[in-house]
């Protein structure tokens, strides 16, 4: 007997995109197996099988938009499922579309880091969570928000042990238990002010995007938990910019990738990290984990929010390759096609607002990294050379460092070193 499984009652939602499909023609499904995941801007819901049998036809594809009653899958079942074919054809009870992360809970200010964290989940992919129905059920049972769990499975899939590790991470972070709070580890803050703004004038309520919600939670944690200080420096990039412009002019004829200031900054930062290894580390309890690899994250502004793709093994790459790769990853970030692996493993991050403007700012560290470099727009400034003021192209640098690991003297030495590397790029090769 052939049965059509349709989208059940999903409350006020309609025209909701399908983000994941778990079955294909030929698969056998049991009653209540998750078939597809729908994602509205407020909620992510699994649609369970309301009939058991063999999948004959999948009538949708990822990205299709569906509403209550839209046909999803045709199932052939020899024996009618316990809930009867009526359940498949009729609209099931509203709760049968199982919320996976709806709505995202607001974390406490001291929301803990994922225990397996390498920053992967902090700015995670265009919102897609890949996990099998059993892992989703396990996460639901434990109350784990899958969008915050760092995946370790193939193709960015979240495994059961990833969920376990995430939950263990919460239980081991000081200050998240009542005992911790009473010892001074918790933040005893007033509740967030609740104001009816419409009393004062017209308003419009606009839900945050999924990426904004995920990155917001991570930024809040990092802001509250890291004793961070920002140090400023000016780098003289007069010669470097002249060189960049000259090479780009030459490359116009050959079609070679355009060299960006960001690519030079990434390369120079890695040289500085090699000289100051503490900046390429992470805190792990009483230990400092010093990384021998140089993977640099860079903040990318996208229509959906802030994302941080990662250029791997920068120490082994040239400027042209770095420029090409940052351009490609930034494009993918804007199009929402970055893979989870493209955003994992950063050991240091650069946030460049140089294309927009600004003078200096205080970027927030992307935990569990210990430092982040902010860059603004270069400007011509008068610099005294002992006899006269000379116009020099000056790049404003803002380095935020975790004071538990890096003190002010070290941070300033790092900044001075970086500024020297940028002022005379030949030093990068020394």
Q: Which is nearer to ligand CAO, 16 or 375 (CB)?
A: 375
Stretch 69-88 residues interacting with ligand CAO (CB under 6 A): none
Q: Name the minimum Å distance from CB 78 to ligand CAO.
A: 55
Q: Name the minimum Å distance from CB 143 to ligand CAO.
A: 30
Q: Which is nearer to ligand CAO, 66 or 364 (CB)?
A: 364
Q: Name the minimum Å distance from CB 92 to ligand CAO.
A: 43
Stretch 208-267 residues interacting with ligand CAO (CB under 6 A): 260-262
Residues in a beta bridge with 53: 29
Collapsing DSSP to helix, strand or coil, 349 comes out as strand
The answer to whether residue 406 forms part of the interface with ligand CAO (CB under 6 A) is no
Q: Name the minimum Å distance from CB 299 to ligand CAO.
A: 4
Q: 325: cis peptide before it, omega within 30°?
A: no
Nearest CA-CA partner of 339 in 125, 118, 63:
125
DSSP characters over 362-417: -PPP-TT-SEEEEE---EEEEEE-SSSEEEEEEEEEEEEEETTT--HHHHHHHHHH
- Alpha helix locations (H) across 99-237? 133-142, 160-172, 178-182, 210-225
Q: Which is nearer to ligand CAO, 303 or 408 (CB)?
A: 303
Stretch 328-387 residues interacting with ligand CAO (CB under 6 A): 330, 351-355, 363, 375, 377-378
Is 295 one of the catalytic residues? Answer: no
Q: Would you report the helix, strand and coil content of the chain in percent, each value rounded to 5?
A: 35, 25, 45
Catalytic residue among 130, 232, 295, 403: 403
Stretch 303-322 residues interacting with ligand CAO (CB under 6 A): 306
Look at the chain and count its residues: 430
Collapsing DSSP to helix, strand or coil, 39 comes out as strand
Stretch 286-305 residues interacting with ligand CAO (CB under 6 A): 298-301
Residues 127 and 39 sit within 8 Å (Cβ to Cβ): yes
Q: Name the minimum Å distance from CB 378 to ligand CAO.
A: 4
Q: Which residues are catalytic?
A: 403
Residue ranges binding ligand CAO (CB under 6 A): 260-262, 298-301, 306, 330, 351-355, 363, 375, 377-378, 395
């Amino acid at each position: 007997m052939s049965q059509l499984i349709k989208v059940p009652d999903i409350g006020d939602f309609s025209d909701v995109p399908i983000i994941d499909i778990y079955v294909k023609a030929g698969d056998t499904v049991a009653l209540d197996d998750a078939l597809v995941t729908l994602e509205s801007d407020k909620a992510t819901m699994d649609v369970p099988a309301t009939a058991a049998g063999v999948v004959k036809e999948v009538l949708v594809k990822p990205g299709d938009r569906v509403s209550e009653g839209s046909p999803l899958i045709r199932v052939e079942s020899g024996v009618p499922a316990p809930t009867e074919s009526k359940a498949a054809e009729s609209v099931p009870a509203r709760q049968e579309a199982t919320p996976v992360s709806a709505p995202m809970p607001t974390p406490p200010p001291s929301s803990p880091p994922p225990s397996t964290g390498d920053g992967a989940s902090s700015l995670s992919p265009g919102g897609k969570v890949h996990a099998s129905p059993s892992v989703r059920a396990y996460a639901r049972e434990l109350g784990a928000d899958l969008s915050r769990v760092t995946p370790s499975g193939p193709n960015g899939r979240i495994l059961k042990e990833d969920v376990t590790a995430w939950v263990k991470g919460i239980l081991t972070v000081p200050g998240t238990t009542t005992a911790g709070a009473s010892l001074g580890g918790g933040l005893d803050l007033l509740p967030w002010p609740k104001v009816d703004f419409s009393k004062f004038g017209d308003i419009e309520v606009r839900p945050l995007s999924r990426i904004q919600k995920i990155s917001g939670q991570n930024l809040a944690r990092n802001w509250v938990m890291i004793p961070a200080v920002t140090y400023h420096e000016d780098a003289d990039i007069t010669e470097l910019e002249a060189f960049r412009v000259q090479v780009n002019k030459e490359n116009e004829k050959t079609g070679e990738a355009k060299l960006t200031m960001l690519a030079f900054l990434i390369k120079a930062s890695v040289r500085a990290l090699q000289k100051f290894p503490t900046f390429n580390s992470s805190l792990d309890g009483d230990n400092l984990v010093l990384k021998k690899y140089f993977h640099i994250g860079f903040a990318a502004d996208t229509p959906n929010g802030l994302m941080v793709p990662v250029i791997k093994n920068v120490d082994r790459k040239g400027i042209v390759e770095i420029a090409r790769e940052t351009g490609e990853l930034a494009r993918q970030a804007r199009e929402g096609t970055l893979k989870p692996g493209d955003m994992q493993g950063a050991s240091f991050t650069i946030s460049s607002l140089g294309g927009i403007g600004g003078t200096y700012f205080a970027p927030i560290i992307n935990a569990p990294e210990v430092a982040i470099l902010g860059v603004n727009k270069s400007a011509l400034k008068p610099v005294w050379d002992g006899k006269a003021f000379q116009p020099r192209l000056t790049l404003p640098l803002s380095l935020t460092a975790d004071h538990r690991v890096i003190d002010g003297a070290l941070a300033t030495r790092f900044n001075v070193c970086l500024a020297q590397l940028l002022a005379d790029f030949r030093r990068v090769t020394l």
